[in-house]
Amino acid sequence: MTAEARPRLVILISGRGSNMLAFIDVCRSGELNAEIALVLSNNPDAAGLALAAEAGIETAAVNHRDYHSREAFDAALTQRVQAAEPDLVILAGFMRILTPVFISPFAGRLLNIHPSLLPKYPGLHTHQRALDAGDTEAGATVHFVTPELDGGPPILQVRVPIEPGDDADTLAARVIRQEHWIYPEAARWFIEGRVKLTQAGAELDGQILDQSGQVLAPR
């Protein structure tokens, strides 16, 4: 990344891409000094592709159904993403389990956001699982992506109180509002060189973060 060129982001989506829209907003406003070089989906009918195109962003689809294995799909995905020359790759509701075929070429510059307080509740149905467990808080975690599902080192986390009468939908609605600012914040830290992936974990300002990452208060 040079001083003359804005860092290039590639964003991967599977649906509408609400976190993608948050990135479009902060890049457009200048809050995040980056440009979105490409929005790509494994679903050619993803609503987010049309929304990105309306914003003047290049879009593409690599349909996972066209490939006989995860590895074959990931190889095609890697080729298309590399062509966009990204400085940072953002998974924003990308509903595919990625293999090392994709993860390895982008190691250390591949981020995901997960709707739980990792390491709690990797995988799906995170809000219902938090409710079923009687937790008092839920939240979201931005983390580096590694081959372990939702197991990469956390960068930052926001915690949201679970309120009386919450169900999975009301809790999810409050959590996703927080996702929309912490995800671009983590990207900003990366772009500014403040955060990086090391063998010991995620490092922020020269300090290794613990298993929750940097914890931020909800906005």
Structure token pair of residue 105: 């070429």
Spatial separation of the C-alpha atoms in residues 94 and 110, rounded to whole Å: 12
Q: Are 74 and 110 a contacting pair, CB within 8 Å?
A: no
The one catalytic residue among 64, 68, 114, 143: 114
State the sign of the Cα–Cα–Cα–Cα dihedral 181, 15, 121, 165: positive
State the sign of the Cα–Cα–Cα–Cα dihedral 181, 13, 11, 201: positive
For this structure, is 125 an active site residue?
no
Compute the C-alpha angle 30/32/36, nearest 5°: 95
Q: Are 43 and 60 a contacting pair, CB within 8 Å?
A: no
Residues catalogued as catalytic: 114
